[in-house]
Amino acid sequence: MRRPSLLLLGCLLASAGLRSAQASAADCPGNPDALGTSRTIVVDPTEHPRIGTMQYNETLPLNDHEVVLTFDDGPLPAHTNPILDILAAQCVKATFFMVGRMAQVYPQDVRRVYDAGHSIGTHSQNHPFRFGDLPPERMTAEIEDAITNVGNALGDPTKVSPFFRIPGLRRANAVETYLGSRGIMTWSADFPADDWRHITSAQVVHYALSRLEAKGKGILLLHDIQARTQAALPVILRELKARGYRIVHVVAATPAQPKTVTDPAQWIPHWMHGAVARAKGPAPGFTFGAVENPARGPRSVRSVWLAQRAPRARASTIAVLMPAKGRFQINRDIGAMRRPGPTPKTAAHRPLPGSWPVTAGDMTFRPLTGPVKTGSRTDQPATPSVR
Q: 27 or 73: whose CB is closer to Zn ion?
A: 73
CB of 52 to Zn ion, least distance (A): 14
Which of positions 71-110 make contact with Zn ion (CB under 5 A)?
72-73
203 φ/ψ angles, rounded to the nearest 5 degrees:
-70, -35
What is the three-class DSSP state of 183?
A: coil
Asked if the bond preceding 49 is cis, omega within 30° of 0, the reply is no
Cβ closer to Zn ion: 107 or 168?
A: 168
Are 227 and 18 in contact by the 8 Å Cβ rule? The answer is no
- The CB-of-122 to Zn ion minimum distance in angstroms stands at 11
Residue closer to Zn ion (CB basis): 127 or 327: 127
- Report the residue number, 73 or 190, with the smaller CB distance to Zn ion: 73
Residue closest to Zn ion (Cβ): 72
- Min separation Cβ 285 and Zn ion, Å: 39
Beta strands in the chain (DSSP E): 37-43, 50-51, 66-72, 95-98, 119-122, 163-164, 185-187, 191-192, 218-223, 246-252, 305-310, 318-324, 327-333, 350-351, 358-360, 363-367
CB of 160 to Zn ion, least distance (A): 17
Stretch that binds Zn ion, among 35-43, 70-78, 141-149, 183-191 (CB under 5 A): 70-78
State in angstroms the smallest separation of the CB of 287 from Zn ion: 32
Which residue lies nearer to Zn ion by CB, 221 or 306? 221
Q: How many whole angstroms separate alpha carbon 286 and alpha carbon 368?
A: 7
- Cα separation, 107 vs 153, whole angstroms: 5
- CA-CA-CA-CA torsion for 252, 258, 264, 269, nearest 10 degrees? -40
CB 302 within 8 A of CB 292: yes
Strand, helix or coil at 155? coil
- CA terminus-to-terminus distance, the chain: 57
- Round to whole Å and give the CA distance between 60 and 25: 24
In DSSP terms, 163 is beta-bridged to 185
What phi and psi values does residue 320 have, to the nearest 5 degrees? -110, 125
- Distance, in Å, from the CA atom of 17 to the CA atom of 169, rounded to the nearest integer, reads 36
Q: How far is the CB of 225 from Zn ion (least distance, A)?
A: 9
Q: Which residues pair with residue 169 across a beta bridge? A: none
- C-beta closer to Zn ion: residue 72 or 224: 72
User: Which of residues 225 and 251 has its CB atom nearest to Zn ion in the complex?
Assistant: 225
Residues binding Zn ion: number (CB under 5 A): 3
Stretch that binds Zn ion, among 67-75, 87-95, 243-251, 335-343 (CB under 5 A): 67-75
Q: Of 91 and 222, which CB lies nearer to Zn ion in the complex structure?
A: 222
Least distance between Zn ion and beta carbon 95 (Å): 13
Give the largest CA-CA distance in the chain: 74
Q: Which stretch binds Zn ion (CB under 5 A): 25-33, 69-77, 213-221, 275-283?
A: 69-77
Least separation in angstroms between residue 4's CB and Zn ion is 26
Nearer to Zn ion, 124 or 317 (CB): 124
Nearest Cα neighbor of 227 from 119, 124, 86 is 86
Q: Cβ of residue 106: shortest distance to Zn ion, in angstroms?
A: 16
Of residues 156-215, those binding Zn ion (CB under 5 A): 167
Task: Please name every residue paired with 186 in a beta bridge, in sequence order, or none if there are none.
Answer: 50, 164
Residue 224 touches Zn ion, criterion: CB under 5 A: no
Nearer to Zn ion, 98 or 360 (CB): 98
For residue 204, the minimal CB distance to Zn ion (Å) is 15
Residues of this chain that interact with Zn ion (CB under 5 A) are 72-73, 167
